[in-house]
Amino acid sequence: MRRAASPGESDRQRTAKVLRALQDLQSASGHEYTILKISEPISSAVPSHDNNHNNNNDAANAVTRTSDVSTSSLDAPTPASLEADLAHYKELFAKLRFSYVEQVTKEKFIRAIVGDPPLIVTPQENADLEASNAAAKATLKALKTEVAGMVSDLEARGRDLAGRYEKVRAETALLEKLPGKIAALEKRVTELKAAQQLPPDAKPEMHLPLGKTLALVDEKRRELAGLDRQLELLGAQVPRKRKEMERLRAEVAALENRKANSTAAAREAKRRRENAQGGVEDELEARGRWYRASEMVLRQVLDLQG
């Protein structure tokens, strides 16, 4: 019978599968896209300073850079340096275009003057040319707007892809470390479970997990708060109960005195009855009976026991 895989094993299998897929993609691409590697075709087209110094005697092969941007940005390119170079080159190409248009215009004007026969342009031809130039300029402006939109879209996509690529790289590095961390954590969990095995004489409440321990502490605190409230209520009743107890003690003391007096009188009456003769004895006996009856009545009224 095939044993079902545990959650930890399934997680490790998924992690290993994802890592293999990422490694296959990286091996299939063959290289890693970075700013340095993207700029290699540009930097390779720029001659180094050493080559220019060695070939400075050859006028045909001597190529010097006319811009004031140093090659340090190509030696260690960064997004900021590449953007600065791009802005500089745009400015240079704009100046070059203006110079080219100016030169071509001068050449055409001179040829028109010195030509044989000279080129004579009528106002209608100028108007037609201006109209065609206006249409061409409008078309060029529309194309420039479209190209600018495409460039902006490409830049946004490039930044988004760069951010996603960096995120994937970071997550891949983290994913490569996960199997070792998972194994270490599983080992630690096993050790903790083995250490938490309760001995036979241990109290279960002393080995509860954190959640149950906190719940038990809260319950005991609530019970303690209830007992404190009961103590406060009973403490408020103590003075009244003490006064009532003192009053009852005074009443009991008075009754004890009356009991002692009645007992002494009864004994005296009994003694006289035994020693007396005739009617005196009967009188004392009657008085003793009266005292005894009075004592019984008092006991019943005050609920006392002899």
Q: Per-residue pLDDT tens for 163-208?
A: 888 898 888 888 888 888 888 998 998 888 777 666 666 677 777 7
Cα dihedral 185→186→188→189 (10° resolution): 120
Of the candidates 167, 172, 178, 177, the residue with the CA atom closest to the CA atom of residue 22: 172
Place of tokens 């040319």: 129
Q: Please tell me the least confidently modeled range out of 34-43, 108-117, 213-222, 233-242.
A: 34-43
The token pair that represents 157 in the structure block: 């996509």
Asked if 98 contacts 63 with a C-beta cutoff of 8 angstroms, the reply is no
Highest average pLDDT, of 6-10, 174-178, 274-278, comes from 174-178
CA distances from 179 to 12, 102, 174 (A): 6, 68, 10
Q: What is the DSSP letter of 160?
A: H
Q: Does the global pTM surpass 0.75?
A: no
Is 61 a residue whose pLDDT tops 50? Answer: no
Tell me which of 179 and 274 has the higher pLDDT.
179
Give the three-state DSSP class for 63: coil
CA 136, 139, 144, 146: dihedral to nearest 10 degrees?
-170
Structure tokens given for 273: 């009855």
**220 close to 227: Cβ distance less than 8 angstroms:** no
Kindly state the average pLDDT of the residues 146-151.
Answer: 92
- Rounded to a whole number of angstroms, the distance between the first and last alpha carbons of the chain is 89
Q: Could you tell me the two tokens for 33?
A: 């896209």
Report pLDDT for 292.
85
Residue 241: alpha-carbon gap to chain centroid: 58
Q: Report domain extents, the chain.
A: 216-302
As a whole number, the mean pLDDT across the chain is 76
To which residue do tokens 């600065």 refer? 84
Question: What pLDDT score was predicted for residue 201?
Answer: 62
Rounded distance between C-alpha atoms, residue 256 and residue 250, angstroms: 10
182 vs 249: CA distance, rounded Å: 78
pLDDT at 135 over 70: yes
**CA separation for the pair 147, 136 (Å, rounded):** 16
How far apart (Å, rounded) are the C-alpha atoms in residues 11 and 183? 11
